[in-house]
Chains A and B, each alone.
Chain A
Amino acid sequence: MRISRRLFIRDGVATVTLGLTAPAFLSAIAQAQGLSSRRLVVVYLGGGNDALNTLIPYQDQSYYSRRPTIAVPAGQVLQVGADATGRGLGLHPRLGGLLNIFNEGKLALVQRAGYPDSSRSHFEATDIFGTANPSTSSGSGWLGRYLDTLPKPVDALSAWNTTGETPRALVSGQVGVPAISSANTYRFASPNRGSAALQERAAAEAMAANPAPGRPHLGFVNSTNRSAIETIDRAAQALNYTPTIAYPNNGFGLALRTVAGAIVTGIGSRVYWVSTGGYDTHAEQGAGGGQYGNLMGTLGDGLFAFYSDVRNHGLANDTTVVVFSEFGRRIAENGSGGTDHGAAGLMMVLGGAVRGGLHGTAASLQPGHPTLENSSGDVRFETDFRSVYARLLDNWLGVNSVPILNGDFRAGAPAIF
């Protein structure tokens, strides 16, 4: 392997990058293990997405009567047909990009995804989607347990988190997932230049190699630091990627561009984590436009750019994206033109290999209807979110979902592949 040394000066601080020349950036370990090139991109909508305004039951009179100011007018929705019970449904008008993917048959909309006795707490509910266990909001996550099944030694970039903190879903017993969002900061800076700077990096790496016997908390920080230094050079390759299409210039778009860069440059990560926030729309959320319209624009435009970019590289069939949020929102709008915390939500799965379409059925929003709960305030779940996870694990990532999910959730899973 040929190593070129580059030294940057930023703000008076020298940065050392050991640039690996092609084709070394395809992980040697991943290659040696002959791992499949399939990858899963997980998108978390933080705050509790108002699913009823994402996939809109535009023929339901109660939708309009219970949401006098925030209902999206029927004439504006992007129609996607009707569910098995004949209820007409449409996407939010700002999801034009997703409509394209839906019309290609590559976007699956899994309605009323959730679990019994849904938590209305952001933190508990997010952790439940992470652990995949409604009775435990601590411990390892479902994707972390998947990573634990990978053959050892596990590549340091077997998963890639584009956010700063590690989500519950990626918490693993054995694998630390690097958090890499920005090329600007994912580097090793030094107060010196030249060989002294390189020697500092080497010394930091040597210090981090200490297993710290008797001090597991220090051992954890050491291993994080070691993983950081080890992944700097490979990550730089992906972060410098030039896409085939313009991504929206916002955090979500840039994170998806980073993921595409990692995929296209052959980093070999199996799981990517992306999140976008602002979904806790308690007030002034708007209908077709406004705050919620902006959220939908960010989501739809970003996903469409990503899908198109990956497809342009001929990699769409190896890439699946799943979108979720911690809960749906209340059916009726509140006094602030927003919605409070609710129950079942919408999961979306898209990719070249996905069997698109409407999965499951819509709720009837008429008070008293059995598809509702909490005094008809919220939508009752129909599809257990863990059955979607099961399908992704069994049919996409190619591992047995039962031990990872601590149960068999295959029955009733939507046929998304």
Chain B
Amino acid sequence: MSQLDPDIDHLLRRAGFGVSASEVETFSRMSPNNAVAYLVDYEGRPDDVDARIGRPDHSQVVSKDLFSPDIDIDDARQRWLFRMIHTRRPLQEQMALFWHNHFATAYSKLVANSGALQAAKMFAYKPGALRGPQGQLELFRQDALGNFRDLLIKVAQDAAMLVWLDGKSNTAASPQENFGREVMEIFTIGVGHYTEADVRAASRVFTGWNLKSSEPFRRDDPNAYQAFFYSADDHDTGAKTFSFPIAGGSHTIPERGAANGMQDGMDLITALATHPETARRLARKFWNFFVSEVQAPDPQFIEGTAAVYLQSGTEIKPVVRYVLASPWFRDPSVRFARYSWPPEFVARAIKEVGWQGVSLDQVRTPLANMGMLLFEPPNVGGWPSGAAWFSTATMLARSNFGAQLVVDQKEQLAASLSSDGQTQQGLMTAMAQRITTAPLDAGPQQALASYLVAGGAWTGSAEQIATRASGLARLLVGSPEYQLI
């Protein structure tokens, strides 16, 4: 048990990545309501986390050459993990992760299409030193708690998405259904609320929503880029009719001249974003993401959350505030009722165990083995989450990450526990305060106690503390109880 109010611990596990020892003081004087406001209204605090990359008292990024997170995907992965661990705006990174899964786009297809440098840039370019539009992740961070309709439009015009779902080659002469289908099935209303005719109509709506390359365009030039381009000549100007209402009760987007044809996409996205099924679908996703994956969504929660979403004009910030302050979220029975995503698990373990000397580059392979390599979702549906995170292979990857992390922290752990470690119980209590698992039943508690004295009775010698403290930390981080948040 950490020293914080259990409500705040719960909040920080869900709306953030746990609490490091250095953050305990910040949150120890807050009420739960203040903590919600602190997390949601993060814009009052500077987005300064990237400036701390390279500081020796933080976790480390390690790169073959110059660290280039704007154009190298492995460096971009390290930067994002660094942000999760060290940010002062944890909910912003958490929501970016949510949107990355919601609008799941995979690096490997972008590489096949545009080469490694351009692919990394389309995901991770943070506006500043180079030319071209911001990367998809920067969009998700910028609009993390923004307006969902606006985010959908930006996603539909995002270079990575235009490559990923082939919008770049969607033309009137030969419409391309990939984006037209997924914008309904995955991004908004979901299966069962559209027809095959709607898929064809949606594909025609987005004809001409293509990409244009900078000139000259060389794939390996960091200043080269591709950007959204509305190609009026390739737009299908005919009317498009849907099974659901578009605007003012009409189901049809009227015939329009090609010059104004981009409005078709705006109309369809507005209709989809404000569709009641989108509101309910997002509410269900927020239930699973923030509240519980164990209890089925309470219909009242779904209707309440959907109503906030629709009444606020598809703004996400009031929705998340509503969810985190709701009685469903505060109900003690939902604590530890969610399966952590691999980056949540990894970031929290690093924050709790310690980051001295931790190389974030060495976290990439374990994350892949846990089933979540960032920027590489298995398909447009995102990662199968919940219980699906757990197979024997992924559980071993999580458990073994505990060993990897602790190896580097062995000395630091032993030093910080030298006085608590004078008794077996003292060591156990201090460690449990630091590494916060779901409650341990008697059986696991007994297994841990037996482990501490498996090599001989407790003496509190420096060697015994070094061995058993690291072993205990490994067992706690690798425990099933720690995988729940």
**Residue positions of A touching B, CB distance < 8 A:** 11-14, 46-47, 119-124, 161, 164-166, 176-182, 185-192, 195-196, 199-200, 202-204, 206-210, 212-213, 215-218, 220-222, 224-225, 227-228, 231-232, 277, 280, 282-283, 291, 334-336, 338, 340-341, 374
Complex contact B443–A206 (CB within 8 A): yes
- Chain A CB within 8 A of B450 CB: yes
Q: How far is the CA of A218 from the CA of B191 in the complex (A)?
A: 31
Tell me if B450 and A225 are in contact (CB < 8 A): no
Closest B residue to A177 by CB, please name it: B391
Q: Which residues of A contact B397 (CB under 8 A)?
A: 185
- Shortest CB-to-CB span from A164 to chain B, Å, is 5
Given contacts A196-B467, A203-B448, contact A186 B169 (CB under 8 A): no
CB-CB nearest in chain B for A219: B480
CB–CB B175/A334 < 8 A: yes
Task: Select which of A161, A191, A220, A336 is within 8 A of B471 by beta carbon.
Answer: A191
A13-B407 in contact (CB<8A): yes
A207 touches B178 (CB 8 A): no
B171 within 8 A of A: yes
- Within B121-166, the residues touching A (CB, 8 Å) are 165-166
Residue of A nearest to B294 (CB): A217
A207 touches B471 (CB 8 A): no
B178 touches A200 (CB 8 A): no
The answer to whether B410 and A210 have CB atoms under 8 Å apart is no
In Å, the complex CA distance between A12 and B484 comes to 28
Q: Are B470 and A192 in contact (CB-based, < 8 A)?
A: yes
Q: Tell me whether A228 and B395 are in contact in the complex, defined as CB-CB below 8 angstroms, given that A165-B388, A335-B171 are known contacts.
A: yes
Chain B contacts of A200 at CB under 8 A? 451, 471, 474-475
Distance in angstroms between the alpha carbons of A196 and B176 in the assembled complex: 59
B454-485 residues with Cβ-Cβ distance < 8 A to A are 454-455, 467-468, 470-471, 473-475, 478-481, 483-484
Partner of A46, one of B165, B174, B379, B384: B379
Structural contact, A282 and B371, CB atoms closer than 8 A: no
Q: A122-B381, A210-B444 are in contact. Are A336 and B166 (CB under 8 A)?
A: yes
CA gap between A186 and B173 in the complex, in Å: 51
> Is A165 a contact partner of B175 (Cβ separation < 8 A)?
no
Across-interface contacts of B315 in A (CB, < 8 A): none
B407 to chain A, nearest CB (A): 5
Binds A, one of B48-56, B95-103, B398-406, B421-429: B398-406
Note all chain A residues with C-beta closer than 8 A to B175.
Answer: 334-335
Considering the complex, give the chain A residue whose CB is closest to the CB of B295.
Answer: A217
Is the beta-carbon distance between A199 and B471 smaller than 8 angstroms? yes
User: How many Å from the CB of A105 to the closest CB on chain B?
Assistant: 36
Question: Inside 8 A of A191's CB, which chain B residues have their CB?
Answer: 403, 406-407, 410, 470-471, 473-474
Q: Is the Cβ of A221 less than 8 Å from the Cβ of B395?
A: yes
Q: 8 Å CB contacts to A: which residues of B373-419?
A: 378-381, 384, 387-397, 399-400, 403-404, 406-407, 410
A166-B388 contact in complex given A187-B400, A206-B443, A225-B480, C-beta closer than 8 Å: yes
Partner of A340, one of B169, B177, B479: B177
Given contacts A195-B455, A336-B169, contact A207 B391 (CB under 8 A): no
Q: Nearest A residue to B173 by beta-carbon distance? A: A335
- The reply to whether A120 and B199 form a contact with Cβ atoms under 8 Å apart is yes
In terms of DSSP, what is the predominant structure of the interface of chain B? helix
Q: Are A282 and B391 in contact (CB under 8 A)?
A: no
Q: Which residues of B contact A11 (CB under 8 A)?
A: 362, 404
By the criterion of a CB under 8 Å from any partner CB, how many residues of chain B are at the interface? 72
- 12 additional A-B pairs beyond A13-B404, A224-B395, A225-B480, beta carbons within 8 Å, are A12-B407, A122-B381, A164-B391, A165-B391, A166-B388, A196-B455, A199-B451, A200-B474, A207-B444, A221-B484, A282-B165, A334-B177
Give the shortest distance, in Å, between A173 (CB) and chain B (any CB): 14
Q: Tell me whether A334 and B481 are in contact (CB under 8 A).
A: no
Give Cα distance in the complex from A178 to B392, angstroms: 5
Q: Is the CB of B448 within 8 A of A207?
A: yes
CB distance from B410 to the nearest CB of A (A): 6
Interchain residue pairs with CB less than 8 A apart (22): A11-B362, A13-B404, A164-B371, A178-B391, A179-B392, A179-B393, A189-B399, A199-B471, A203-B447, A210-B441, A217-B294, A224-B480, A225-B480, A228-B395, A231-B392, A277-B378, A282-B166, A282-B178, A334-B174, A334-B177, A338-B166, A340-B177
Residue of A nearest to B369 (CB): A185
Separation in Å of the A341 CB from the closest CB of chain B? 7
* Complex CA–CA separation, A216 to B484 (angstroms): 12
Given the interface contacts A221-B395, A280-B379, does A192 sit within 8 Å of B467 by beta carbon? yes
- CB of B174 within 8 A of CB of A188, answer no
A291–B166 alpha-carbon span in the complex (Å): 15
CB distance from B167 to the nearest CB of A (A): 10
Tell me if A204 and B475 are in contact (CB < 8 A): yes
Whether A208 pairs with B474 at a CB distance below 8 angstroms is no
Interface centre among A200, A206, A208, A215 (most CB of B within 10 A): A200
Residues of B within 8 A of A202 (CB): 451, 454
